[in-house]
Amino acid sequence: MEADKVSRVSRTAIGVTWLRAQEGQRPDPLFDDPYAEVFVAEARQVIARQTIAAGRGDAVSAIFGLHVVLRTRFYDDYLLAAAGQGCRQVVLLAAGLDSRAFRLAWPPGVRLFELDLPELLDFKERVLADRQAVPGCERSVLAVDLREDWPRQLIDAGFDPSAPTAWLIEGLLIYLTADEAAGLLTAVDGLSAPGSRLSCEHRDNVSNSLLALARSRPSMDEVTALWKGGLGEDLARWLGRAGWGVTTYDGTTLAESYGRADPEAASVGFLTAVKGEQPTSTS
């Protein structure tokens, strides 16, 4: 992958992978992603373009570094729990360079769909093929633009809308306008049978203060210039109105539960939702 041919979104995905690779060097990692360092090594030219502030030692890097680590572990746990509760279809929207299909212990019968931009998936598939990586579940890769007619492509690839599905929308919604985010979620809702599950980041006042801090740092300009806000704090209400029972999770509380409490840092929160369940709660 040549640096001058890679979009800013894809370069940001590589920066996130760098943060996961850093976690793998700790004696007490919250997850095991053996392919993260491989992806980073293959994309060394892109990293040199300083796609994000990761690793440069400033406060923003420390805050968002913690967030990436927390969200990786949180989403790993969410997906395995959803599969264990009967969701044998898993859809990763904006799958990035994470290797969940290969590194998680999936139960039998899981089919996982990865959707992302063509240039990013081309790079990912080449690296995985070079390492002869074997997924732990049935895996389908779809090169799509999530602002276009991706549901048709998903169904054409074998997705069954009548079966409960575990959806993951990781690090994506902030890059969309409110209308684009609502359109994406409307499509997800239309493809989701009762009992389907969804998880993504959840914005609150702490999250908004972190985003404002990031916007104040020139070192983050390449990333923050891409942010369009998504649905912001309206996300949980939108899902509730659509018939999803929502549970929200505070990032700082999660950090404490994972043994990563840091008085100098905070994290964007998360939510999970189940279609057909009405109660909303906070954890």
Question: What confidence score (pLDDT) does residue 194 get?
Answer: 97
User: Is residue 253 a part of any domain in this protein?
Assistant: yes
User: Is residue 151 a part of any domain in this protein?
Assistant: yes
User: Is residue 180 a part of any domain in this protein?
Assistant: yes
Q: How far is the C-alpha of 199 from the C-alpha of 246, rounded, in Å? A: 9
Report the domain count for the chain. Answer: 1
Which strands make up the sheet holding 281-282, listed edge to edge? 138-143, 111-116, 89-93, 165-169, 197-202, 269-275, 244-249, 281-282
CB hemisphere CA count around 243 (13 angstroms): 11
The pLDDT > 70 percentage for the chain reads 77
Q: Among candidates 56, 32, 14, 20, which has minimal Cα distance to 220?
A: 56
User: Is residue 268 a part of any domain in this protein?
Assistant: yes
Q: How far is the C-alpha of 84 from the C-alpha of 64, rounded, in Å? A: 30
Q: Residues 34-40: what's their mean pLDDT?
A: 93
Q: What is the CATH number of the domain that holds 250?
A: 3.40.50.150
Between 7 and 232, the higher pLDDT residue: 232
Residues 6+ apart with CB under 8 A from 24: 32, 33, 34, 36, 37
DSSP class of 43: T
Confidence of residue 266 (pLDDT cuts 50, 70, 90): low
Express each pLDDT in 73-105 by its tens digit.
999 999 999 999 999 999 999 999 999 999 999
Question: What confidence score (pLDDT) does residue 9 get?
Answer: 60
Question: What confidence score (pLDDT) does residue 67 get?
Answer: 85
| Tokens representing residue 103 in the block | 């590194």
User: Is residue 55 a part of any domain in this protein?
Assistant: no
Q: Residues 270-283: what's their mean pLDDT?
A: 80
User: Above 60 in pLDDT, residue 208?
Assistant: no
Express each pLDDT in 170-187 by its tens digit.
989 988 999 999 999 999
Question: What confidence score (pLDDT) does residue 215 get?
Answer: 63
The CA–CA distances, whole Å, from 266 to 98, 208, 259 equal: 23, 11, 14
User: Is residue 4 a part of any domain in this protein?
Assistant: no
Q: Residues 2-31: what's their mean pLDDT?
A: 78
pTM strictly above 0.85: yes
User: Is residue 17 a part of any domain in this protein?
Assistant: no
Selection from 4-13, 84-93, 210-219 with the highest mean pLDDT: 84-93
User: Above 80 in pLDDT, residue 24?
Assistant: yes
Q: Residues 54-59: what's their mean pLDDT?
A: 42
Q: Residues 112-134: what's their mean pLDDT?
A: 95
Confidence of residue 50 (pLDDT cuts 50, 70, 90): very low
Express each pLDDT in 216-258 by its tens digit.
666 565 666 666 677 877 899 999 999 999 999 988 889 999 9
Confidence of residue 61 (pLDDT cuts 50, 70, 90): low
Enclosing domain of residue 89:
60-282
Question: What confidence score (pLDDT) does residue 189 get?
Answer: 98
User: Is residue 33 a part of any domain in this protein?
Assistant: no
The pLDDT > 90 percentage for the chain reads 60
